[in-house]
Amino acid sequence: MTRRAMTPYVSEDVIERAKAAVAALGGHVAHTASMSDLVEHALRREVERLERKHNDGEEFPRVTGKLRTGPSTNQGR
């Protein structure tokens, strides 16, 4: 699996709570060895949930172009 960096905008509260969880658990609990480990696990679970709910459990078609970047518009909440 190839890994690459991404820079999403996330609320400061969520970032601080995630950092605290990683620091407190330090890999003693699954998916807490690093911020990258925690983020990848959480993002994968959410994408899989969305695929099950909205695409009959299948992966969504891959995107070849660019998606909107920048801070959240809070749409879809």
Q: Tokens 């060895």 identify what position?
A: 33
pLDDT exceeds cutoff 60 at 76: no
More confident of the two residues 70 and 38: 38
pTM score: 0.83
For residues 44 and 63, give the distance between their C-alpha atoms in angstroms, rounded to a whole number. Answer: 17
**Tell me, what's the pLDDT at 75?**
57
Quick: pLDDT tens for 9-40: 999 999 999 999 999 999 999 999 999 999 99
Greater pLDDT, 43 or 77:
43
Place of tokens 């994408």: 47
Distance of CA 62 to the CA centre of its chain: 17
